[in-house]
Structure 1
């Protein structure tokens, strides 16, 4: 498995997760431009490293593209002949670039999976949305799923547009929670609490709520009701959220996010 740009944060998290889950480190190759960074990366994970993309691609059965979206067209141009000849499974971690662009850049008939991970993959609790293009076999889908599940959970979507919805929920979702946590910390500080204590309480509460929701066999709406006593403190706070339009605001924000993802796909495709 070859990771182009593999010493970056997201690819590095995936590689670390694969190795930790038992995937042979010696079968992973990570490429990059900075030799010292690659040397350090190899020492940390036990994988092979190289600055020669072409040499790595020439041996690849699975090729993971993890460079920035703005660099992807140039990269694909450099490796297109090799990829078109070998037709490895290509898994792209770059946001916003549609399959049609990869098919033009790499050639027809190359099996491609779009993967949309999120930043909690860096601590092994990520979500990765997956979409398989034409010609991707079930065995290749299993490889992509194994890679994604090394750093969290994987969700397949049936239509490519579904990746935009994944971005709106989980791709950008961590920032929504960070925003809410920041607002809670600020509010607690304004009410007189020490900021360090406010941050500690807020982050631990968020962690606990998420763990409880994952472990529970009831939905989050019921978990919310479980905390609320009639005419109590939690009910008063929830009523304020609802009366001031929080549910509608979240819906609009997520719709804006998905719309922007679709816009970026069109821009990068052009």
Structure 2
């Protein structure tokens, strides 16, 4: 049986662990002194001493980045010689993980927030030579809670972070502004929320189910000289909104590079 040690178990790590435990037959152990609420069958230890002589096939880092340098070295001896390191920690480069364990295979997973409800999008990056069995196993774990995109460099993972990792924050802010604008048109806060979230949910499901491009779908709802056309002109008549989204992603990407 595959044995996996999860180092740290915060909100994202805990959510992913629930999906992994429910959809695989692996043996999971969590190393976290906070003693989190864990799925049935998952073991928990508060320190490396509690592991005894156990060895693991995979060590998955789910710590805050600033803790990794101090904590990871203590647990590396518990990884089998052929074992693989993976990480869901944002802002901590695979190269840094590899420096802690020269010769080890390293795979980073960049999940986004919707993974906590099984509807995420995750980026995967294999640093250096990684056995096909290991990349397939990490891919299998990621698919438990998200769609996946493999990238071939850490730089592309930073770009994916700007698009998908940080993306829920942008969407929440757009929704907040949309609801606020509806309130200013005279609707109550609750009605504004219902109108906006219902409109967005239906539009998203329509886009997901359609073979048409997003541009064609937009054209189909936009009559010449109509209300939608007027609103779209105010939103992006001179491509201001397109430029703003571009600047948003660029700023997030540049910050991701700084944090490597």
The TM-score, its normalising length taken from structure 2, stands at 0.92
Match of 2:236 in 1: 242
1:127 lines up with 2:121 in the alignment? yes
Which structure 2 residue ranges, 5 or more long, are not aligned?
A: none
When the two structures are aligned, how many residues end up with a matched partner? 255
Contact 1:112 1:136 in 2 (8 A): yes
Give 2:145's match in structure 1, choosing from 136, 147, 151. 151
Counterpart of 1:5 (choices 2, 8, 11) is 8
**251-260 or 12-21: which moved more?**
12-21
Shift of 1:18: 2.0
1:50 pairs with 2:45:
yes
Tell me how far apart the structure 2 counterparts of residues 74 and 260 of structure 1 sit (CA, whole Å). 23
Structure 1 ranges of 4+ moved more than 6 A: none
Quick check: 1:228 aligned with 2:222?
yes
Q: Which moved more, 1:48-57 or 1:187-196?
A: 48-57
Q: Does 1:67 align with 2:63?
A: yes
Identify the residue that residue 195 of structure 2 maps to in structure 1: 201
Query: Is the strand fraction higher in 1 or 2?
Result: 2
2:154 aligns to what SS in structure 1? coil
SS in 2 for 1:15: helix
CA deviation profile, 1:24-80 (whole Å, cap 9, x unmatched): 26x122221123x3xx32xx4432222234528942101111010111111122224
Task: Give 1:135 deviation, angstroms.
Answer: 2.2
In 2, distance between residues paired with 1:31 and 1:205?
43
Listed one character per residue, the Cα deviations across residues 74-116 of structure 1 (whole Å, up to 9, x for unaligned) are 1122224444x624111100111112211222x2111100111
- In the other structure, the counterpart of 1:15 is 17
Structure 1 CA distance for aligned equivalents of residues 210 and 53 of structure 2 = 44
The equivalent residue for 1:183 is: 177
- Partner of residue 159 from structure 2, selected from 152, 159, 165: 165
- Encode CA deviations 1:178-223: one digit per residue, 9 max, x unaligned: 0110001111111110001111221222222222222222222222
Contact 1:87 1:109 in 2 (8 A): no
Q: Matches of 1:212 and 1:187 in 2, distance apart? A: 24
Structure 1 residue 210 and structure 2 residue 204: aligned? Answer: yes
- Which of the two has greater helix per residue? 1
* Mapped partners of 1:57, 1:172: distance in 2: 39
Residue of structure 1 equivalent to 2:32: 32
Normalising by structure 1, we get a TM-score of 0.88
Matched, 1:78 2:79: no
Residues 216-244 of structure 1, C-alpha deviations (whole Å, 9 max, x = no match): 22222222122212211111111111126
- 1:95 matched to 2:90? The reply is yes
- Residues of 2 paired with 1:30 and 1:77: CA distance? 16
In the alignment, the residues of structure 2 paired with residue 190 and residue 171 of structure 1 have an alpha-carbon distance, to the nearest angstrom, of 31
Q: Counterparts of 2:40 and 2:108 in 1: how far apart (Å)?
A: 25
Whole-angstrom distance in 2 between the partners of 1:67 and 1:211: 34
Preserved CA contact (<8 Å) 2:107 2:125: yes
Separation in structure 1 between the aligned mates of residue 68 and residue 106 of structure 2, nearest angstrom? 14
Match of 2:252, SS state, is: helix
Distance 2:28 2:22 in 1: 13
